[in-house]
Amino acid sequence: MKSKNISDKIFRSVKSRGFKHIELPSVIEANHIVQRSGESFRKFIFSFIDNTGNELCLRPDLTIVSCLRYLENNLKGKEKIFYNGQAFRKSQNKKDSIIRNQVGFEIIGSQDEKNDDKEIINTSLKSLQNLQFSSGTLTLGNVEIFNLLISKLDIPKRWKLRLSRHFWREDYFNDLLKRLETNSDVDPTIVEIDKKRYLKMLKNDQSIIVANRTIKEILERFDKKIRDPRRAREGRNISKIIKEFLRIKCPINKAAYELNKFFKKNKINLIVDQKYFPISKNKISKLNVVFSTAFGRQLEYYTGMVFKIDIKSNSKIINCCNGGRYDRLISDLGSKKQIPAVGAALNLNY
């Protein structure tokens, strides 16, 4: 993939599907990345302070830079764009390269979600025709289905928000499930003390400010908390349901069947149609196509369909393409409204 000839072929392939080439800046404000991915991500970026005191960094992710371009240039409507270049990110594995050469392509600002998802996957598949490989796997997931499941579970709202927000942080997510199973986040003694405080504060002037909040605001939050306590048995059951869901993995044409069987078994009021998925064929060219509910946890900004393509070349398994839908990314970066977006990136490093 280091061959310029192959890169040029991929560019032509993407361009032939109506994508317009754009240039992206190599340096951006670090807070755009840190605010989006959290302070823990700072250790992976190459940052520096400019002569005005602003913290800048080399771009660690081309998708975020592309979305910033759309936002900062006040662009409107649908854009089909592609770009190429390097992303710079430190790695905990010394064998990994810190420079990632990529070709990325996106559809931004279009309301035709299902067709756009198909377009991105089909563009990825067409680009793959320029590579030499013997076999491979296209793995599909969907973060939206996970969030729909969480919304239907009988757990406090704060737990729904935690589980949805931290789905992408697998280790921390598993720790949350353990806490859910053991009820370790709720101390019964503290709950009783809180109830007494709550009843006492009801008698106070509701407009009094305490710790920058009115007593009324504190009581509203208090009221939600004291209604939330649950028995450990209920937490174990919810954790069991979530773990069972995340074990679903099957050929793509069985995705709706397996999901609906799971929903019915656990009395969850959800139904998924097979047409919901952008692909229903189990085999495309040399790729097996599978669905996995646990896939899609590598980046926080994914909101819907996600996919990756792994190929076997010279007896090695190589991840050559990743993509998905990120409808909230541009609004998280500062847009006043939510702008649909879906895209993918091909890895040119191997």
Reported in sequence order, the residue ranges of the chain that DSSP labels E, i.e. its strands, are: 20-21, 27-29, 47-49, 55-58, 79-88, 99-108, 135-142, 209-210, 213-214, 249-251, 283-284, 287-292, 305-313, 316-325, 341-347
Q: Is the pLDDT of residue 157 over 60?
A: yes
Average pLDDT rounded to a whole number, residues 120-133: 89
CATH of the domain at 14: 3.30.930.10
Whether 156 is in a domain gets the answer: no
**Global pTM?**
0.80
In a domain, 162, yes or no: no
Are 213 and 327 members of one domain? no
Do 19 and 145 sit in the same domain of this protein? yes
Return the bridge partners of 84, or none.
103
- Amino acid 218: pLDDT: 79
DSSP 55-71: EEEE-S-HHHHHHHHHH
pLDDT at 233: 67
- Flag whether 154 is in a domain: no
The verdict on 269 and 180 lying in the same domain is no
Q: Both 20 and 128 in a single domain?
A: yes
Predicted pLDDT of residue 128: 86
* Residue 3, number of CB atoms within 10 A of its CB: 10
Element (H, E) at 188: helix 188-201
Instruction: Examine residue 155 and state whether it is found in any structural domain, yes or no.
Output: no
User: Does 160 map to a domain?
Assistant: no
Strand 305-313 to strand 316-325: parallel, antiparallel, or no bridges (unpaired)? antiparallel
Q: Does residue 138 share a domain with residue 226?
A: no
Asked whether residue 159 is domain-assigned, the answer is no
Same domain for 94 and 219? no
C-alpha span between 229 and 132 (Å, rounded): 57
Same domain, 277 and 303: yes
Q: Give the model's confidence band at 1: pLDDT under 50 very low, under 70 low, under 90 confident, else very high.
A: very low
Alpha-carbon distance of 47 to 53, in angstroms, equals 12
Of the residues 192, 219, 241, which one is the last residue of a structural domain?
241
Distance CA 329, CA 339 (A): 8
What 3-state class would DSSP assign to 149? helix
Bigger pLDDT: 306 or 332?
306
Handedness of CA 15, 17, 18, 20 (dihedral sign): negative
Inter-residue contact 266 to 111 (CB < 8 Å) = no
Residue where a domain stops, chosen among 200, 225, 241: 241
Tens of pLDDT along 26-62? Answer: 999 888 777 766 666 778 889 999 999 999 999 988 9
Is there a single domain that holds both residue 287 and residue 206? no
- Strand stretches in 151-269, DSSP E: 209-210, 213-214, 249-251
Q: Residue 242's pLDDT band (boundaries 50, 70, 90)?
A: very high
Give the up-direction half-sphere exposure of residue 234: CA atoms within 13 A in the CB hemisphere.
Answer: 10
How far apart, in Å, are the Cα atoms of 210 and each of 70, 204, 207, 216? 42, 12, 9, 10
Residue environment code for 61-78, b if the CB has 16+ CB neighbours within 10 A, otherwise e: bbbbbbbbbbbeeeeeee
Domain stops at, among 206, 241, 276: 241
Question: What is the domain range of residue 207?
Answer: 169-241
The span from the CA of 96 to the CA of 93, in Å, is 6
Once rounded to an integer, what is the mean pLDDT over residues 157-180? 90
Tell whether 164 is covered by a domain. Answer: no
Is 223 found in the same domain as 249? no
Residues 250 and 328 grouped into a single domain: yes
Number of folded domains that form the chain: 2
The verdict on 306 and 271 lying in the same domain is yes
Lowest pLDDT segment from 8-12, 105-109, 121-125, 266-270? 8-12
Tell me whether residue 158 is in a domain.
no
Same structural domain, 291 and 313: yes
The chain-wide mean pLDDT, for the chain, equals: 86
